Structure 1
Amino acid sequence: MEMNPSYNSLVALGDSFTEGMSDGLPDGSYRGWADLLAARMAAHTEGFRYANLAVRGKLIGQIVEEQVDAAAAMHADVVTLVGGLNDALRPRCDMGRVRGQLEEAAGKLAPSCRQLVLMRSPGRRGPVMERFRPRMEELFSCIDEIAARHGAVVVDLYGAPPLADPRLWHVDRLHLTAQGHVRVAEAVWQALGLPAETDWRAPLPADAGASWAVRRSGDLRFAREHLLPWVGRRLTGRSSGDGMPAKRPELLPYDPPLS
């Protein structure tokens, strides 16, 4: 496969989705879609460099304040920006402010890189997400408009039914599994005009489904271990990423992990 030689660096910005939280590796670390994409690009481009500035729980205003200027200064060939969904999932959200902050971010990033990539994030099926779906769709319409103004590529994960399948979501129902991240990496790869290796939109195999008792047990576990703590953080203005550093703060040559 021939790789576009101009794609010799990648900077990823955002929250937990880009940080790459998933089922995790045996050592407790995570390898998300941006890491997988960087590994594939590095395999075809000598001296490929990669930075991941994402931190879980960040709102778009925090991404603009803490990540955007640093990313723009790196002048990477490809920059990915995924943000705003944490804002949309808050009890109160000023969508006008979110729109302005996304516009500010794109206005700084697009001139600094060869290709800016934005995303319509995937949305898991379920009653909790249904409550916020109108806000999510308003956010994604905004992203489409901003991308058109700045020549950015939009990866439409929200419009891909397989990525709504609960089997591609972690038990916390907020983060993709490892296989979900594999699909996202392929989606971004193809959006950059690189030759497809798999069909990331392919439906999952038919599933007989769990019994009522198993589903209710899973619902209770989710509520106790994930939903209630998540609601508590939203109500008190706290974040799971408070005090956490960026995953990979410098644009350095990419060396694949040993495991």
Structure 2
Amino acid sequence: MGFHRYVAIGDSFTEGVGDPDPTRPNGLRGWADRVAEALAAREPDFGYANLAIRGRKLAGILREQVEPALALEPDLVTVYAGANDIVRPKVDLDALAEQYDEAVGRLAASGARIVLFTAFDPGSGGIYAPIRGRFALYNEHVRSIADRHGATIADSWRVAQRLPYDVTASDPRLWDVDRMHLGPAGHQVTAMMVLDALGVEHDLEPLPLPDLPVLTRREKLRADAAWSRGYLAPWIQRRLTGRSSGDTVEPRFPTFGRVVSPGGE
């Protein structure tokens, strides 16, 4: 089945943060653009819209993006929402799932193919390890919602089982230097995962990974301290002041357009 009108909604994950491209809106490319490029290569009348805004929690995504998405009458919608809720000090995942379920039901009722994402497994180490159980419970809710509404799952939690590298999903080479967003290689893997889940043939290949540097304990502590100052502290400051990284950001592609791979036509 070919797709002609693709709308992506969500937060920074879908906006493309961590995958820089100065020639594109907001200076980003991201997995959704990569998916759209592959779909556009198959359909001459293909259109793509990306309504995602970084920093948005689930309620904001549903409130701000679902209606505009439906108004575009898409035949394919990808939805990623909830990650910014999971990492807050307190979250009611059951209530979150109820909101998500209602919104996915509305999107599915439009007749569009819906793709939902599980969250990546944060592993037993790193900054998200203490709330790994939240990620797992969230994923069970997502799977149940997908079952109820006939949505397709892009299974990030299990992506390590099919990574084209001999690495885990938490390998830093798949992630941006901020340790919170995917890097270009991670966005490429995600695009491949989505297209495979949709059963769409594509020619995407994994991006090469550099060798991991071997750090002494002192060098690692120094790198962790620099990351805390440069990324973690500003993130905490925004939480404390009620600000968001997306407060001044606009959707990258609010209406249908066509994107092509770099160097393509």
What's the TM-score once normalised by structure 1's chain length?
0.89
Distance in 1 between residues matched to 2:89 and 2:82, nearest whole Å: 14
Please say if residues 117 and 154 of structure 1, whose CA atoms lie closer than 8 Å, have aligned partners that are also in contact.
yes
Task: Give the counterpart of 1:247 among 235, 247, 252.
Answer: 252
Q: Give, in angstroms, the shift of residue 203 of structure 1.
A: 11
Closer, same or farther: CA 199–158 of 1 in aligned 2, 3 Å = farther
Which amino acid in structure 2 is aligned with residue 146 of structure 1? I
The CA deviation at 1:195 is: 2.6
Matches within 5 A, 1:148-159: 148-159=147-158
DSSP 3-state at the match of 1:249: strand
AA aligned to 1:211 is T
Q: Partner letter of residue 17 of structure 1?
A: F
> Hey, what's the Cα distance between the residues in 2 that align with 1:17 and 1:90?
17
Structure 2 alignment gaps of length 5 or more: 161-167
- Give 1:38's match in structure 2, choosing from 36, 39, 46: 36
Q: What residue is the counterpart of 2:98 in the other structure?
A: 100
**Map of 2:143 onto structure 1:** 144
Q: Contact between 1:91 and 1:234, CA under 8 Å: does it hold in 2?
A: no
Superposition deviation, residue 182 in structure 1 = 0.5
SS of residue paired to 1:195:
coil
Counterpart of 1:194 in structure 2 is: 200
Which moved further from structure 2: 114-123 or 157-166?
157-166
Moved over 6 A (4+): 202-206
TM-score for both structures, normalised by structure 2? 0.87
Letter in 1 for 2:185: Q
The equivalent of 2:112 in structure 1 is 114
> Corresponding residue for 2:17?
21
Whether the aligned pair in 2 keeps the contact of 1:85 and 1:139 (CA below 8 Å) is no
Describe how 1:1-259 pairs up with structure 2 within 5 A: 4-5=1-2, 7-26=3-22, 29-125=27-123, 126-161=125-160, 162-195=168-201, 197=203, 207=212, 209-254=214-259
User: C-alpha root-mean-square deviation of aligned residues, in Å?
Assistant: 2.4
CA distance in 2, matches of 1:245, 1:204: 32
Amino acid at match of 2:101: E
Q: Give the partner amino acid of 1:175.
A: H
Deviations 1:115-148 (A, max 9, x none): 1000012244543101221111111110000000
Supply the distance in 2 between the matched residues of 1:211 and 1:168 (Cα, whole angstroms): 22
CA distance in 2, matches of 1:167, 1:195: 26
What SS does the aligned partner of 1:50 have?
strand
Distance in 2 of aligned mates of 1:62 and 1:120: 19
Separation of aligned partners in 2, 1:187 and 1:106? 20
2:67 alignment partner, SS class: helix
Shift of 1:114: 2.9
For residues 137-191 of structure 1, what are the alpha-carbon distances to aligned partners after superposition, in whole Å with 9 as ceiling and x for unaligned?
1111100000000000111112223322111111111111111100100000000
